[in-house]
Amino acid sequence: MGKLTELRSQMDRCSKCGNCQAVCPLYLETKREPLVARGKIFLLDNLIDGRIGWSRRMGEIISLCLLCRTCEVNCPNGVQVASLVLAAREELARARGLSIWKKTAFHYLLTSSGNLNLLARLLYLYRWSGLQAVARKSGLLKALPWGLADKERLLPAVGRRAFARMVPPVIETPGEKRRIGYFYGCMTNHAYPATGLALLTVMRANGVTVVLPPQVCCGLPALASGDREAAVEQAGRNIRRFQEAGVDRVVVDCASCGSMLKGYGELVGTREAGEFSQKVRDVAEFLTEEVDFRPGAYPVEMTVTYHDPCHLKRHQGVHRAPRELLQAVPGLALREMERADRCCGSAGSFNLTHHQLSMAVGNHKTRSILATGAKAVVTGCPACRLQLAQGLEQAGSAVPVTHTLEILSRSYLGGKEKAAVPLVAEGEKGFLPVWGSGLQETGKSCRKINASIRFI
């Protein structure tokens, strides 16, 4: 109980006031007290004192948390609920072990970009071969157990090539003012390469050279499942690679990865890890605070609404920056939805392990989005993007979900993106990103992508 016992002082701070009950998205759906922070703290207290053990039910209760931190920001005593839940999951994994699936994923798949590329390739073939369409139409998936039909619909539309394979390892910007390392994460790399290309467009327009060191998963899926060892291993690899790249900023376009990278110092506990974490910035933070940001000249005539990812607003305190960027885009109108920071229910793999509950939480978000009448939803987290898109699709809406960077990129490219072959994977609703001119100089890897992008 080492880690949990260390956090005992956190539990002792709980005055059982119930503020967390009033705001917990899971309680609001289930009305189950054990799912609330107060309920979990009560149970963990009993666990440490040996009055209860790691029963199956106790394990389920600890897995039922979105780590959204809504309770934390409403707690008058500052109880660090997310840290407690993570520590409890670590103890649970130690006491009862992880499934073979999780162990394989954390120790072999997510710790090696080669293995993840292979899986992405298989997913792409599953879709491209028509097998996915046949499986869905024939009702075959519905015959499978564990709600696999619903979970299969959450598979991202993986493209033919990963983002990192489309671009050279360094994208030099003439007259460079800043040089950053880009942590693109697994989702941008395999599911949303459009976001990665949009980042390159935006950085280039703002005088920033982008370096793409080899990298592996940020480690959040492992940590959130209690596998601290795998998370530390993944963190160590990323720290070494970015150190070797010699960059003084690590910029991230994924809220979840960003919060994880900012926590490497505490997770790994070394001086190098602490220094690495100090360099990490969410892309919206970086653009508003560290460069003289200039939006493009082309108007983007549309009304959008913005969804605050939990990992951006409550984990990193970033919520004004993306709005400032959007409001700077000529022609764009930002219409706020009700409770833009309400959790969408994604929470990493939560939408796979507790799909119905996850979608029930997300339904509130879908209704808020539709009530704005906005023509698109913008967010800063690819995991939220996937969840929001599924919620809207289930509600019969064609409103697309996109990343802040893809909107910014449009303001530099205007209508010219129509000249390009879309990189957005089939089935994904988003905007077509293209780079600006000048990239032809960057060498062999760049010539490879000329097949799929017509430069403008």
**166 or 388: whose CB is closer to ligand SF4?**
388
- Torsions phi, psi of 305, nearest 5? -125, 155
Tell the residue number behind the tokens 């292979």, with chain if given: 118
Please report which helix (H) or strand (E) contains residue 171, including its range: strand 170-171
Tell the residue number behind the tokens 């949990």, with chain if given: 4
Q: Least CB distance from residue 284 to ligand SF4, whole Å?
A: 23
Q: Least CB distance from residue 63 to ligand SF4, whole Å?
A: 11
**40 or 237: whose CB is closer to ligand SF4?**
40
**249 or 314: whose CB is closer to ligand SF4?**
314
Q: Least CB distance from residue 112 to ligand SF4, whole Å?
A: 31
The torsion region of residue 396 among left (phi > 0), alpha (psi -120 to 50) and beta comes to left
- Do 281 and 290 meet the contact criterion of CB atoms below 8 Å apart? yes
The C-alpha atoms of residue 409 and residue 414 are separated, in whole angstroms, by 9
Q: Least CB distance from residue 67 to ligand SF4, whole Å?
A: 5
**83 or 112: whose CB is closer to ligand SF4?**
83
**30 or 117: whose CB is closer to ligand SF4?**
30
Q: Least CB distance from residue 17 to ligand SF4, whole Å?
A: 4
For residue 406, what are the CA distances in angstroms to 117, 178, 192, 202, 253? 24, 21, 10, 9, 11
CA dihedral 104, 110, 115, 121 (to 10 degrees): 110
Name beta bridge partners: 211.
170, 181
**83 or 243: whose CB is closer to ligand SF4?**
83
Q: Give the other-Cβ count within 10 Å of 177's Cβ.
A: 12
For residue 405, what are the CA distances in angstroms to 271, 394, 429? 32, 26, 15
Q: Least CB distance from residue 335 to ligand SF4, whole Å?
A: 26
Tell me which residues touch ligand SF4 (CB under 6 A): 14-20, 24-26, 37-38, 65-71, 75, 77, 79, 81-82
Q: Least CB distance from residue 227 to ligand SF4, whole Å?
A: 19
The C-alpha atoms of residue 46 and residue 39 are separated, in whole angstroms, by 11
**38 or 161: whose CB is closer to ligand SF4?**
38
How many helices and strands in the chain, by DSSP H and E? 28, 9
> Three-class SS of residue 332?
strand
- Torsions phi, psi of 332, nearest 5? -85, 135
Q: Least CB distance from residue 424 to ligand SF4, whole Å?
A: 32
Residue type for position 46: N
**53 or 78: whose CB is closer to ligand SF4?**
78
Q: Least CB distance from residue 22 to ligand SF4, whole Å?
A: 9
**32 or 418: whose CB is closer to ligand SF4?**
32
- Do 175 and 407 meet the contact criterion of CB atoms below 8 Å apart? no
Q: Least CB distance from residue 38 to ligand SF4, whole Å?
A: 4
Edge-to-edge strand ranges of the sheet holding 376-379: 332-334, 302-307, 376-379, 401-403
Maximum separation of any 2 CA atoms in the chain, in Å: 68
**18 or 330: whose CB is closer to ligand SF4?**
18
Half-sphere exposure at residue 191, Cβ-oriented, CA atoms within 13 angstroms:
19
The C-alpha atoms of residue 386 and residue 153 are separated, in whole angstroms, by 10
